[in-house]
């Protein structure tokens, strides 16, 4: 695959589908993530209970267009803003470099435990399978909002790069220097999308332009904004200082 261009090959897609099938079969076996911290045992219990009791592909409720509400932009609303809590100088510089011309030079890198690491432009993603969903965003701070999201199913992107059968987690890195991860069950869920559109328009800056994650069956902070890189991993990694745990938030927040 050439830099910035996604050229699906028949062999590639078959390889991707085959390995994803393997993942689906092996998805929930093995241990749930452990945080090496006794205080985190509650998270572990939530994770186990959810994964045991809930259907892996149960859909989050989807709403009518008439139910769309206003939605505040929360957390980082511009990776270049120095007064932002998560300000990261290196990320801000990188973001400044891709912001012009509607993010024409932006590329999403997808790497790690995959057969064919690749980069995707917005145009590449736009040519792939598309999903639009109207869902309720639930923030850990107590507010919620309904919005329409359009993007590429993460599953489609993972199939394109051919996830290895050993892969268990997918990590997302943002321009504001934050990062977070989900397991393969959420990664392959049909409503887990890489959104470039919101309420019928290009994703606005404050909501994570040019691309954000939507993971509808977890709390709001798991929907990482300002995506720059996705890394597929075989092992659980809470991402240390980059992840949610540093601020005391759980890794798994199923709803």
Ligand X SMILES: Nc1nc2c(c(=O)[nH]1)N[C@H]1C(S)=C(S)[C@@H](COP(=O)(O)O)O[C@H]1N2
Closer CB to ligand X, 18 or 205, in the complex: 205
Interface with Mo ion, residue 221, by CB under 5 A: yes
121 binds, among Mo ion, ligand X, none (CB under 5 to 8 A by kind): none
**For residue 108, what are the β-bridge partners?**
120
- Cα 171 to Cα 179: distance, rounded to the nearest angstrom: 7
Q: Between residue 10 and residue 29, which ones bind ligand X under the rule CB under 6 A? A: none
- At residue 171, the 3 state secondary structure works out as strand
- Cα 47 to Cα 43: distance, rounded to the nearest angstrom: 6
**Segment contacting ligand X (CB under 6 A): 25-33, 103-111, 157-165, 218-226?**
218-226
CB atoms within 10 A of CB 107: 18
Closer CB to Mo ion, 12 or 79, in the complex: 79
Interface with Mo ion, residue 220, by CB under 5 A: yes
Six-digit token pair at 168?
């268990």
154 binds, among Mo ion, ligand X, none (CB under 5 to 8 A by kind): none
Smallest Cα–Cα separation from 122: which of 155, 88, 162, 150?
Answer: 150
DSSP 64: -
Side-chain half-sphere of 85: how many Cα atoms within 13 Å?
7
Task: Give the pairing of strands 179-183 and 108-112.
Answer: unpaired
Interface with ligand X, residue 244, by CB under 6 A: no
Closer CB to Mo ion, 65 or 246, in the complex: 246
Residue among 17, 73, 97, 255 that touches ligand X (CB under 6 A): 73
- Residue 122-161 contact track with Mo ion, rule CB under 5 A, x = bound: -----------------xx---------------------
Residues that bind ligand X (CB under 6 A): 71-76, 86, 139, 174, 176, 178, 206-207, 220-221, 223-226
């Amino acid at each position: 695959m050439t830099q910035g261009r996604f050229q699906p090959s028949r062999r590639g897609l078959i390889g991707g589908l085959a390995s994803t099938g393997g993942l689906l079969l092996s998805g929930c076996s093995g241990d749930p993530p452990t945080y090496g911290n006794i205080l985190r045992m509650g998270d572990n219990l939530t994770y186990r209970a959810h994964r045991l009791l809930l259907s892996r592909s149960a859909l989050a409720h989807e709403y009518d267009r008439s139910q769309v509400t206003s939605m505040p932009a929360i957390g980082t609303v511009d990776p270049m803003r120095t007064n932002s809590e998560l300000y990261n100088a290196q990320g801000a510089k990188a973001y400044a470099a891709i912001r012009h011309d509607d993010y024409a030079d932006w590329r999403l890198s997808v790497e790690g435990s995959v057969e064919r690491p690749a980069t995707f432009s917005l145009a590449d993603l736009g040519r792939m399978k598309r999903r639009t969903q109207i869902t309720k965003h639930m923030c850990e701070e107590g507010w919620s909002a309904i919005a329409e999201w359009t993007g590429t199913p993460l599953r489609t992107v993972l199939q394109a790069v051919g996830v290895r059968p050993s892969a268990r987690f997918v990590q997302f890195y943002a321009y504001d220097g934050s990062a977070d991860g989900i397991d393969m069950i959420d990664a392959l869920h049909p409503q887990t999308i890489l959104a470039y559109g919101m309420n019928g328009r290009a994703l606005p800056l404050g909501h994570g332009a040019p691309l954000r994650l939507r993971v509808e069956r977890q709390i709001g902070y798991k929907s990482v904004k300002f995506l720059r890189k996705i890394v597929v991993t075989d092992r659980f990694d809470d991402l240390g200082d980059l992840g949610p745990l540093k601020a005391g938030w759980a890794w798994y927040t199923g709803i």
